[in-house]
Structure 1
Amino acid sequence: MAKSGKELLIQKEIAVTLNQCVDMYEMLEVSLKKLLELMELQTGWIFLTNEANSYKLAAYQNLPPVLSDNNFNRLTCSNGCYDCACLQLYWEGYLHKAVNSIKCVRLEEAMIENAGDTRNLKFHASIPLTIRGRKLGLLNLASLEKKRFEQKELLLLESIAYQIGTAVERIRLYEEQKKQEVDSIARYLVDYYKDMDRLNRQLGKASTRQELYKVLMEELSSHFECWPKIALLIEENNELLLRATTHGKETKVLNEKSFSSIPSIIHKTYDEKRILQNHQQPLYYSSLKTWEKCYSIALPLETNEKKRRALGVLLLSRETETFSDLEIEMLEVLAGLLSMAIEKTYLQEEWEALLVEKERNRLARDLHDAVNQKLFALSLTARGLQKVTTNSNDMVSEAISDIQKLSQETLSEMRSLIWQLRPQELEREIGTSIQEYGSKLGLQLDIHGPVNLKLPDKKEQALWRIAQEALNNIKKHAKTNEGNVHITKTSSFVEMKITDNGCGGASENQHSIGMKSMKERAKEINAKLTIESISGNGTSITVTVPIQNGEDKE
């Protein structure tokens, strides 16, 4: 009774091992060891085979030394599959069930060759591991004391062999599934990085932000169809602006689009600079289509500096499932590429501005060294002629006087032009610079504003150019030589208002170069430009520049 209980316990342990283990060789080793204990045998080994008539030693217990010598050379498939009677019978289809005693060719050859210790073993029992006609392997058991197995023992061995075969097939299917998963992930990674490389090259070709947003959305909608809903939000002047969207194949690139109800996931990602996910949350953007409940992920876009600065947020949405860890790692790469591309466009814009300023300085220098000097010489020549021809014909004297007057006016305008091209005055306070420029134009200005107005160079330069154009308009068109300049600075904006009491009648819809220039300069710094001009009541030009808290000279 005690022996029967022990046998049942061992059989249970074998069954548990076969059902739970996912490592092929561990499962076979443990099962073989327990089976030898159950059957009170000394030696055993298992071959695993395939349909190609090859085999390999998969597990063994207490082999005779002659079989384990030389790295198990005698148990290795080296010259085809017909070096062993048990395997030959198995492949030829004669071994369908447990065979009590098969003479082992390997052990017999070792005895003839006196190759080593065989422990006097000559025979072994062989039990096929065959499931639904599929040949999976062969179980061999031997013991010097055990000459024959009883029928019930053979039946037990066949039962356990069937369980082992089933476990082998299960683990093979599991390994094949894992291999397919690995292959699938590998294909996904290869395709993803291929798409990332193409996207990176396309982003690198974009020279402006609008072009960049368009390229990004087109590439994502064409090659990353797993994210059918995409929104790109960019930080400008401490405000998130919706710059581009994709819904299926429909892509929109927006020039100016702010909205009041930004989903909280975007706000949190922007503020906390970390990736966040929403699970089946509805998305709605004002003035856009309503999006169904989606699985969304928001990726922060930021500079690659030590002190990271937020650039915006990329929002991806789909209706199927949350984003996996692998996808998130990939999306971090995408966010990094996009952030670098946005930084590149900023640097490109700054570089172009520097080139424009450099060209302005060159022109100013050339005008000063060439044209300005010649005008000055012409003025001196006219003055000398006037003295020499004092008693000459009145018409000649008058013509010489006109030449001198015209040359002096042209010289004055040339100096003003040079001054505009090369604004050294911005090294001083902008109000003082505006006052000096007005004096050069012959204007009397009443200026009010902070003594020390600190702004980034780009914004201060734009304000200065707008002020120049406004003063030029007073000089040329207002029929007055008086004006007022009010500059106000708060924590969120700087406002400059230039007014005159002239004839008015200007319109901000005029297509003059001056009006167009002021609008373009205001747009470059995301400023708001307002022109009010009623005929007979003067003109008022107001420019409002948004700033960030504590914004100072760059």
Structure 2
Amino acid sequence: MHSSLNDHMTLLKEIAEFLNEETEMETMLQGALKKLLTRSVFASGWIFFIDGKGKHKLIAAENLPPALMENDCRSMKRGGCWCVSRYHNGELQKASNIIECQRIEQARRQSEKSSGEITHHATVPLQSGKEKFGLLNVATPNTIEYDQSELALLESIAFQIGSAIKRIHLTRQEQEIALVQERNRLARDLHDSVNQLLFSVTLTSRGAMEMTEDMELRDAFHDIHQLTQEALTEMRALIWQLRPKGLETGLLEGIKGYAEMLGIHVVTHVSGVIQLPSRIEETIFRIVQEGLNNIRKHAGTNQAELFLTVNSTDVLVILKDDGRGFHAGKIPGTLASVGMQSMRERAQAVEGTIEWISAPSEGTEVFVRIPY
């Protein structure tokens, strides 16, 4: 017993040191899980993150039997189970022995691969104070339950992991705040220097154009004026991207304000209540922002429609124009393709999807679906 206690204390120390050194969430969780399984009676383990709606995500897994790993851990990622349900209902407060696991049973029925003689697992919530993040599950072949010392070890490690998750969340928030501050500083600098300089050039070129009677000079100053006006619009758009005005008063107001700055009239259609997490809201804003840029530069129209539909699981955004369109299967030009790739990357960053429907002279529709 004394030896077992020493082993537990050594393991707790090792995991604590590891958690304190890591800054990437998934690397941290995977590494902690591996250390736990290597130095304890637990043979397999997995971690679910669970949101406020009870939707779970497999964030880390180690040494799962082949049946559970089949089809990219499909049985672990889909469907419901007792432990996730009990967690969401607030019935899991400490480490618990689970009688049997629906996911393991399903994998054993549907797969011809080995389940490693695993039929049951123990589970413990991951939390920091009153803030909950998900579940840590562990299993051992031919084991129906663990003794109290093993459950106590599981609780201690879950406490450490919960604290580390909270630390990384706080670090990310600080980084996001610093990024916003830097964007605001850069936006101010651009506005105070480059933007004002471009504005001065437009005034000077227009004045020079009116003062001279030489037609060649007039044409030259006219070209300078036009190019500078275009650059001024681009600069204002860039400043908007760095520091979106109006977004703090609502997503639609921010979009309308940006469109107005570009000279585009947007008709909006909303279905559902817009109460989105800030990250999702900014992602939608940035995607629509780039879509509006493409309309101004490539569509040859100043009219657009925006459809925003919000339900209990995801949000659908459709940005539609009646412009010149393009062959959806072909790259419509370097600048447009860069913008489209940026939109795709933003959607994928929040596990969303995006697609374009377009044809020459038939306008373009952008479909974005984002879970939240």
Q: Does 1:374 align with 2:197?
A: yes
CA RMSD of aligned residues (A): 3.1
Gap runs ≥5 in structure 2: none
**1:488 corresponding residue in structure 2:** 309
CA distance in structure 1 between the partners assigned to 2:258 and 2:241 by the alignment? 9
SS at match of 2:18: helix
Q: Return the TM-score normalized by structure 1.
A: 0.58
Contact residue 245 and residue 254 of structure 2 kept, 8 A: no
Which amino acid counterpart does residue 96 of structure 2 have in structure 1? L
SS at match of 2:367: strand
SS at match of 2:276: coil
Q: Does 1:385 align with 2:201?
A: no
Give the alignment of 1:155-194 within 5 angstroms: 185-194=1-10
CA distance in structure 1 between the partners assigned to 2:87 and 2:245 by the alignment? 43
CA distance in structure 1 between the partners assigned to 2:248 and 2:365 by the alignment? 27
Task: Select 1:273's aligned residue among 92, 96, 107.
Answer: 92
Which amino acid counterpart does residue 545 of structure 1 have in structure 2? I
**2:365 corresponding residue in structure 1:** 540
**2:16 corresponding residue in structure 1:** 200
Question: Which piece of structure 1 moves more, 325-334 or 286-295?
Answer: 286-295
Cα gap change, 1:298 to 1:441, in 2 (>3 Å): same
CA distance in structure 1 between the partners assigned to 2:305 and 2:328 by the alignment? 17
CA distance in structure 1 between the partners assigned to 2:326 and 2:81 by the alignment? 47
CA distance in structure 2 between the partners assigned to 1:244 and 1:428 by the alignment? 38
Give the alignment of 1:57-206 within 5 angstroms: 185-206=1-22
Deviation at 1:333, TM superposition (A): 0.6
SS at match of 2:121: strand
CA distance in structure 2 between the partners assigned to 1:447 and 1:214 by the alignment? 44
Q: Does 1:348 align with 2:168?
A: no
**1:218 corresponding residue in structure 2:** 34
Contact residue 217 and residue 246 of structure 1 kept, 8 A: yes
Cα gap change, 1:480 to 1:351, in 2 (>3 Å): same
Q: Return the TM-score normalized by structure 2.
A: 0.84
Which amino acid counterpart does residue 268 of structure 1 have in structure 2? R
Which amino acid counterpart does residue 344 of structure 2 have in structure 1? K
Contact residue 49 and residue 134 of structure 2 kept, 8 A: yes
CA distance in structure 2 between the partners assigned to 1:299 and 1:508 by the alignment? 51
Cα gap change, 1:293 to 1:429, in 2 (>3 Å): closer
Which amino acid counterpart does residue 505 of structure 1 have in structure 2? H
Which amino acid counterpart does residue 387 of structure 1 have in structure 2? E
Deviation at 1:229, TM superposition (A): 1.4
**2:298 corresponding residue in structure 1:** 477
Deviation at 1:295, TM superposition (A): 4.5
**2:353 corresponding residue in structure 1:** 529
Whose Rg is larger?
1
Greater relative CO, 1 or 2 (CA 8 Å, sep 6+): 2
Task: Select 1:429's aligned residue among 250, 253, 257.
Answer: 250
CA distance in structure 2 between the partners assigned to 1:378 and 1:501 by the alignment? 34
Cα gap change, 1:381 to 1:266, in 2 (>3 Å): closer
In terms of fraction of residues, the more helix-rich structure is 2
SS at match of 1:407: helix
Q: Does 1:408 align with 2:232?
A: no
Cα gap change, 1:387 to 1:303, in 2 (>3 Å): same
Cα deviation 1:496-523 (Å, max 9, x = unaligned): 2111223133469999432332233324
CA distance in structure 1 between the partners assigned to 2:314 and 2:120 by the alignment? 38
Contact residue 269 and residue 308 of structure 2 kept, 8 A: yes
Deviation at 1:422, TM superposition (A): 0.7
Cα gap change, 1:266 to 1:519, in 2 (>3 Å): same
SS at match of 1:437: helix
CA distance in structure 1 between the partners assigned to 2:238 and 2:259 by the alignment? 13
Gap runs ≥5 in structure 1: 1-184, 548-554
Cα deviation 1:325-349 (Å, max 9, x = unaligned): 1221121111111112222232233
**Number of corresponding residues:** 355
Which amino acid counterpart does residue 175 of structure 2 have in structure 1? E
Contact residue 505 and residue 539 of structure 1 kept, 8 A: no
